[in-house]
Structure formats: C-alpha cells, structure tokens
C-alpha cells in the first residue's frame, strides 16, 4: 500500500542538546517545542516486492549519505512490521534544507508515519513518537499536535513526546528569518558530542528540571513576556554551550546577530517579541499574532526579506496526495 504523510518541523523553546544514549537517541534533558505550520515535509512510502534495494529520492535527488540514514530507519520499521520488503521513498520539503532549519525533525516524523502505515502497521501516537525519535531526536516532537513536550525518559519506551496544548491554544506567530544558505558546517550530532566535555554543561543540566517547570507555568498562564524572556535566554544558553565546547562552534552569521539586535530593539520600543535559534544561523522570532504584521513591517524596513511566517500547527498526519 502506498502511503503519504505530511509532517511539520518544530522549533524548541527548551532545547535538546546532548544525548545520554547515542544509539537510542535518549536526550540528556527533556525539551519543549511548537510545530510550525509552514515548514513541512511530505513523504510517500511504498513497500514493493519487485525492488532489490530501497529507492530513496529526497528533494528530487538520490543522495547516498542522506539515503543511508533513511535506510537505517526503514530497517527499524521493517523490524517492527516483520517484513523483508524493500521500499520506494520520495520526500519533499517546502523549505530550503540548508543550515539549521530542522529538516531532520519533519523528515523522520513523515517517514515514520508514512512508513509504518505503508508496512501495514497501525501504531499509537506514543509508539510513533518513540520510533521517530530513533531516526532523529527532534522528530519525536513533530508527531503530536501543537505545543509539545519530549519526556526525556531513561529507556527506549519512556522517551517520547506528548501534546501539551493544541495549536489553537495560543495565538502566536513564529517568523523564521533565513540567515544563510550553506549546508551545516558542524553536524548536530557532532555538536552534541563536543558539549559533553564542556565544563559549563553540567550546570546547564542541573538547572533543566526547574527551567522546564517554569516554562510550562508561563505557558499555562499564557504569560507571553515571561515565556519569551525564558525562551530567548535558553537559546542563548544553547549557543553559549556551543561557543565554549571543544572545538568551539559558532553557528551564527552576521545577519543572525543583526536580527537578534533588531528583535531586542523592537522589544524595548514597541511590543513583546523574542528570538530563538537552533544549531544554525536562522533566527525564529516569536510574537503574539496581533503584532505579526507590525513585526514583518519592521523587518522589511531593515531590508530583511527572506522570511517564513508560521503559526502553531498540528503534528504529522496522513494525506492522499501521493508524490508518485
Ligand atoms: C539544536 O534532532 O537534529 O535543534 O537526534 O542527532 O538527529 P539528532 O539531533 P536533532 O537535534 C536538534 C537540536 C536542536 C535543538 C532542538 O531542536 O531541541
């Protein structure tokens, strides 16, 4: 059976940075995110007995390195479904895959949902999140709807993501400013390895429980200003970790810094607005929906044109619009 899934990317408000088990992708700490409505991966999977090997096309290309990771994930799906059959996979992003836009999150979430269904399985959301996590950690957060928490867990079966609130819970806008188009210089998995010897890292981890609790309280009260301040300082902490790792990693480009300064300037003069940044140069700006147009106007005034506007989104879902 041919099956297609659409998965959103997600941006973390509390970041996943470091693994306690690399193979299983158990994170060193829990994390919190929101799914993004306009950063999507569509993936079609079909298991076909006439295939001798998996046939994988991503964004119109057959790339051996990317295909390898996809094939590993297909192996996981085949193991659960107890089938030997090879698959054809076609996957398409609606956004550029370069530098830090989390294509692995939406990519592995879409592959998990389309792949398991195509293999004849009908797994529950929790099981799908566990499986997606093994492909790419952040992918487990793209499975449930809206605002999501990844419970770190100590074992394969206890590390998965759950929905905290549906997309409609909070009228916020997430505007992504593209600040570079190179492929990532340091892979996320490498960055997470380097941080292990960082002397500041244990301090970060020891504060995590409190930080997650605090953020969830602000979300519960829809206290946008306290929420935003914590989100922004958490993003800066992630980059402080990267900057002080050995070897050091600088994910920012000059435009990244310009946008950070601009956001802080707009905040001090006009309305509450905050930024967060993953392991790449792009900046995600978060504001209340009512201020979205004004924010875009301010960005355009500064000649910042390359933006993707998002609202909170559903998680991964099936569609009948197949790619082949
Ligand atoms: C900085 O999920 O890409 O975006 O598990 O190695 O595939 P792997 O890592 P990945 O890491 C995302 C890291 C981050 C923070 C976050 O999304 O929480």
Each residue's pLDDT tens digit, 150-181 = 999 999 999 999 999 999 999 999 999 999 87
Pair type for strands 87-93 and 172-177:
unpaired
Each residue's pLDDT tens digit, 216-255 = 999 999 999 999 999 999 999 999 999 999 999 999 999 9
CA-proximal residue: ligand 1, atom 6 (nearest): 189
CA-proximal residue: ligand 1, atom 13 (nearest): 16
Measured from the CA of 15, which atom of ligand 1 is nearest?
18
The confidence score (pLDDT) of residue 183 equals 62
Measure 192 CA to ligand 1 centroid, in angstroms: 9
What is the pLDDT of the chain when averaged over all its residues?
95
Indicate whether 100 pLDDT > 90: no
Each residue's pLDDT tens digit, 36-45 = 999 999 999 9
CB-defined site of ligand 1, < 6 Å: 12, 15-17, 25, 31, 102, 104-105, 136-138, 188-189, 278-279
Cβ atoms of residues 283 and 254 within 8 Å: no
**Rounded percentage of the chain residues whose pLDDT exceeds 70:** 97
Q: Categorize the per-residue pLDDT at 101 as very low, low, confident or very high, splitting at 50, 70 and 90.
A: low
The confidence score (pLDDT) of residue 184 equals 60
């Amino acid at each position: 059976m041919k099956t297609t899934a659409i998965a959103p990317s997600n941006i973390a408000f509390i970041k996943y940075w470091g693994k306690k088990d690399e193979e299983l992708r158990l994170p060193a700490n829990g994390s919190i995110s929101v799914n993004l409505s306009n950063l999507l991966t569509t993936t079609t999977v079909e298991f076909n007995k006439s295939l001798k090997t998996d046939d994988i096309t991503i964004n119109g290309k057959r790339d051996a390195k990317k295909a390898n990771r996809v094939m590993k994930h297909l192996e996981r799906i085949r193991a659960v479904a107890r089938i030997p059959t090879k698959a054809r996979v076609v996957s398409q992003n609606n956004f550029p895959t370069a530098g830090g836009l989390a294509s692995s999150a939406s990519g592995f979430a879409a592959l998990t949902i389309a792949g398991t269904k195509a293999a004849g399985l009908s797994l529950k959301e929790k099981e799908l999140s566990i499986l997606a996590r093994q492909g790419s950690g952040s992918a487990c957060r793209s499975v449930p709807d809206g605002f999501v928490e990844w419970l770190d867990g100590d074992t394969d079966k206890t590390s998965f993501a759950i929905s905290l609130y549906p997309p409609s819970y909070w009228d916020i806008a997430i505007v992504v400013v593209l600040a570079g188009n190179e492929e990532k210089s340091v892979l996320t998995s490498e960055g997470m390895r380097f941080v292990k010897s960082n002397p500041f890292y244990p301090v970060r981890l020891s504060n995590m429980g409190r930080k997650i609790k605090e953020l969830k309280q602000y979300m519960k009260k829809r206290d946008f200003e306290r929420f935003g301040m914590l989100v922004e300082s958490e993003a800066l902490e992630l980059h402080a970790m990267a900057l002080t790792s050995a070897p050091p990693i600088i994910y920012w480009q000059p435009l990244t810094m310009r946008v950070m300064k601009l956001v802080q300037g707009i905040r001090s003069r006009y309305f509450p607005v905050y930024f967060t940044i993953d392991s790449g140069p792009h900046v995600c700006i978060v504001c209340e929906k009512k201020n979205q147009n004004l924010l875009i106007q301010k960005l355009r005034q500064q000649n910042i044109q390359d933006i993707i506007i998002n609202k909170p989104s559903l998680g991964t879902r099936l569609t009948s619009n197949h790619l082949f």
